[in-house]
Structure 1
Amino acid sequence: MWDTVLDGDRRVCAACGTPVRSYQFRFHPPESAMFERCVGLGWCSGCRIYSATMVRVPRTRVLVDALASLPEDQRERLLREEAALVDFLDGRGGEQRPSTPGM
């Protein structure tokens, strides 16, 4: 089990103190009744541990798409492979490191 602790207004990894990074993305198309069910990722860059869960994000909230500039095949591969997605978002996938707001 991966533990995090509150450090002021952010969460940090209980094991190493590294700030927890997070990213949320929509899994279903806008016309779907399931559109508000999204995937939420949280991870520690220091320990290389991550967790994923389904989260509810209101339909009206616009989420940043960190994968928007990628070719469709690379985008689809990353969305199917959580560990590769975390590596990409963390800047270890050979691309820029996006800023991601806390969950």
Structure 2
Amino acid sequence: MKPWEEWITKRSPLKDIRLMKVSRRIPFVSQAAPLLPLAGLIFIGADFFNKGVDNKRYTTDTSTLVVGGSLMAAGFICYKFTFASLKINSRNKLKVLETY
């Protein structure tokens, strides 16, 4: 038994729990969640440090910012799909199943 499981099962009544983190393993979405923001940052960085159409370094184009930003936003959306948080209220109830 892990330490946090012991704390939850022995020391915390169910009525005190307000928020629950849920992890869903969606095959490609879960793997893309950490990679897409990194890819967007590398894409913007590569455009910034390499010579572009204007043959100058240390400049970036607006289309590059749009593409890199959309990659980062897609990664954030994938992260939200994979690691959701549920508020415990009247719609989402927390119940304990007792097994023997």
Normalising by structure 1, we get a TM-score of 0.21
Greater CA radius of gyration, 1 or 2? 2
Q: Which has the higher contact order (CA 8 A, sep 6+)?
A: 2
Looking at secondary structure, tell me which structure has more helix per residue: 2
